[in-house]
Amino acid sequence: MSTPSRPPQSPRSFNAATYLVDRHLGSGLGDRPAVRHAGADISYGQLSGDVARVAGALLRLGMHRDERVMCCMSDTPELLTTVLGAFRAGLVAVPVSTMLTGRELGSILADCGARVLVCTSEFADACAEALSASPDVSHLVVVGGARPEVPARVVRLAWDEALDGVAPDDGGPAAATGEDTPALWLYTSGTTGMPKAAMHRHANIRHVCETYGRQVLGIRAEDRCLSVAKLFFAYGIGNSAFFPLSAGATTILEPRRPTPDVIAERVSADRPTLFFGVPTFYAGMLAADLPEELMSSVRLAVSAGEALPAPLLRRWRDRFGVEIIDGLGSTEALHIFLSNRPGDVGPGTSGFPVPGYELQIRDEHGAVRPPGEPGSLYVKGESIASGYWCRTETSRHVFQGDWLATGDTYVQDEEGRYTCLGRSNDMLKAGGIWVSPAEVEDRLAEHEDVSEAAVVGVPDGEGLDKPVAYVVLGKGATATPEELIGFCRDGLAHFKAPRRVVCVDALPRTATGKLQRFKIRRLAAEESGAASTA
C-alpha cells in the first residue's frame, strides 16, 4: 500500500514591516529616532503607528492580498510609510522613478497592474496623465495640495482624507505573510528597452540587512544614514530604509533633488555617520567649493552604481579624510553582493563577495574561469529576485537556476579581489587585443583636468574598432585632446590609448547614475559617419 504524500509545508511566517519596525518596540527602542526629516524626528513608536494606519487605509480602499500599490513620491515619511504599510498589509509596494514622464509612468502603471497610485504633489500631473494608460487603478492618493483632474473611474483622495478616521489598530495585526510572499517590485533603470519589474519577497529584505548591512557596513543603532540615491532605487531603499531600520538606527530623508549644495546642507545639519553616493556624485562634490571638514561626522562612505575609479577614491580621501568602500549590486539582487571592506579597500576593485553570496566568473560556454582570466560574473544568494514580472524569456536568460547573470565582465586576482572590466558587451578589441574601457577611463581620470571619462569602440575605415574617449573637463581646465591622448600613451600600452578624444559638457547617464554607453556609441558612430562623408 502506498504511503500518502505529505502536503508541501508553508514557508516560515515573516513580515518585513514587523522585522524593520515593530520588533524594536519590544526591545525598548520605541523612543529612538527612526526618521529625521525637515529638522524633526519620528520615533520608532510613532513610525510603527503611522505604518499601521497606512496599512489600514490601503485595506479600507478595497485592496486585497498581493495587489500592487505604486508610489511616485519624493523621499518623505509618507513614501516610507506607504512602502512599509504595503508590506504590513500583505500588499506589494512598487516605488518608481520620479524622473519619468506621464507617458513612461503610464507604461509602468499598466505593466504592474497597480490598484492604488500614491504621489507627492510635484508629480501629480504626470501621475494623472499616467492614469489613462491603466484601467486597473481605482484610487489616486496625493500628498500635498495638488488636485489634478483624473478619469471618472478613479477616486482622487488627499493623503489626509485617505487616512482620516483610521486608527493604528483598524488594520488588525500585520498580515500573516511568509518568507516567499511578494513584497516589493523594483523596476530596473535599464539602458535600453522597457523597464522590467524585479520581484522581491519579504525574506530578501532581511537577507540584505543581515549580510551587507550587518557584516560589511557594521551598522548599529547609533548610526545615521544619508543616501544620495533615492528610495525608489534598489540602492537607495537599502541605504535609507532597510539597513537603518533593521538596526534601530536613524534614516535621514531629503526630498529635494540631490546636488552638492543640497547634500552639504543636509550633512551639516543632520551629521550622518554613514554616507551613500555614486561615483558621479563624489566627483561633483570634489568639484564643488565645499569645506574639507564637511564630512567629519561620517565614519564610512559607500559607492555603487558603477565602478569607482581609483584616482577619484584617492582624491576624495585626501580631500575629506573619509574612506569609500566601492561595491557592486543590482536591482535583481536587491543590493550590494560584492564589496570592499572598511579598512581593507583595494582601489579600483569591487573587493570580495559579501558573506552570504557566492560568485563565479564564467566563459562564453559556462565554464568557471580561474583567477586572472576575465569572464561573465554570476552571483548566487538568498536576496535574488524570483524573476521579472511578465518577462518570461528575459527571466530565463538572466535567472539561471540559483544563479543570476549580472551582465558584467570581471576578473579575480590571486588575492580573491574582483575587478570590473565593464559590461559584458562593453569590451572592445584594438589591434586584435581585448581592451577594457574601464582601464583607459581610469588612466584618463588620473589627469588633473579630467572630471569624467567614457571610452567606447568606434569602427575605423577598415571596420575595426578603435577606442575613442569622451571626456568632461573640470572647471577652468585647459587640457587638449592631443595632450590627453599622449597622457594615456605614457601610462598604458599604446594599443589601449584612445585614437580620438572628444570633450563634452556631460556624459549621458541613467537615473541611477550608470553610464549609458550605448548613447555614446551612437554619438560616436554619427560623428564618425559625418567625418567619413566629409
Length of the chain: 534
pLDDT in tens, 388-397: 999 999 999 9
- Look at residue 82 and tell me whether its pLDDT is greater than 70: yes
Q: Quick one: pLDDT band at residue 246, thresholds 50, 70, 90?
A: very high
**pLDDT-based confidence at 191, cuts 50/70/90?**
very low
Q: What crossing angle do the helices spanning 437-445 and 310-320 adopt, rounded to 10°? A: 30
Percent of the chain with pLDDT over 90: 80
Phi, psi of 510 (to 5 degrees): -80, 175
At 463 the pLDDT is: 66
Average pLDDT (208-225) is 98
Torsion sign over Cα 293, 507, 335, 249? positive
The partner residues of 467 in beta bridges, in order of sequence, read 457
CA-based end-to-end distance of the chain: 86
Bridge-based pairing state of the strands 33-37 and 40-43 = antiparallel
Name every residue whose Cβ is closer than 8 Å to that of residue 447 and which is 6 or more positions away in sequence: 479, 484, 487
CB 165, CB 144: distance < 8 Å: no
Which uninterrupted H or E stretch holds 183? strand 182-187
pLDDT over 60 (residue 1) = no
Q: What's the rounded Cα separation, in Å, for the pair 42 and 62? A: 28
- Residue 144 has phi, psi (to 5 degrees) of 110, -170
One-character DSSP codes across 32-79: SEEEEETTEEEEHHHHHHHHHHHHHHHHHTT--TT-EEEEE--SSHHH
**Mean pLDDT of the region 130-145:** 97
Of the spans 135-139, 170-174, 435-439, 509-513, which averages the highest pLDDT? 135-139
Average pLDDT of span 135-163:
97
Q: Are 358 and 348 in contact (CB under 8 A)?
A: no
Interval 252-308: pLDDT, tens: 999 999 999 999 999 999 999 999 999 889 989 999 999 999 999 999 999 998 889
pLDDT over threshold 90, residue 424: no
Query: What pLDDT score does 194 carry?
Result: 65
Q: Over the chain, what is the mean pLDDT?
A: 92
The alpha carbon dihedral of 84, 281, 309, 187 has a sign of positive
The pLDDT assigned to 496 comes to 87
17: pLDDT strictly greater than 50: yes
Residue 64, C-beta contacts closer than 8 angstroms, at least 6 positions apart: none
Report the distance separating Cα 128 and Cα 290, nearest Å: 40
Give the chain's domains with CATH numbers.
42-198 (3.40.50.980), 202-372+410-423 (3.40.50.12780), 428-533 (3.30.300.30)
Using H for helix, E for strand and C for coil, what is the string for 286-327? HHCCCCCCCCCCCCEEEECCCCCCHHHHHHHHHHHCCCEEEE
pTM as predicted:
0.86
Question: Is residue 193 scored above 50 in pLDDT?
Answer: no
Using a 10 angstrom Cβ sphere, with 0-12 exposed, 13-18 middle and 19 or more buried, the burial of residue 69 is buried
Query: What local confidence, expressed as pLDDT, does residue 38 receive?
Result: 95
pLDDT above 70 covers a percentage of the chain that reads 94
Residue of higher predicted confidence among 531 and 487 = 487
| Predicted pLDDT at 4 | 40
Give me the pLDDT at residue 530, please: 52
Q: How many CB atoms lie within 10 A of CB 355?
A: 13
Question: 242 with 213: CB under 8 angstroms?
Answer: yes
Q: What 3-state DSSP class applies to 464?
A: coil
What is the C-alpha separation between 329 and 469, in angstroms, rounded?
26
User: Is the pLDDT at 195 greater than 90, yes or no?
Assistant: no
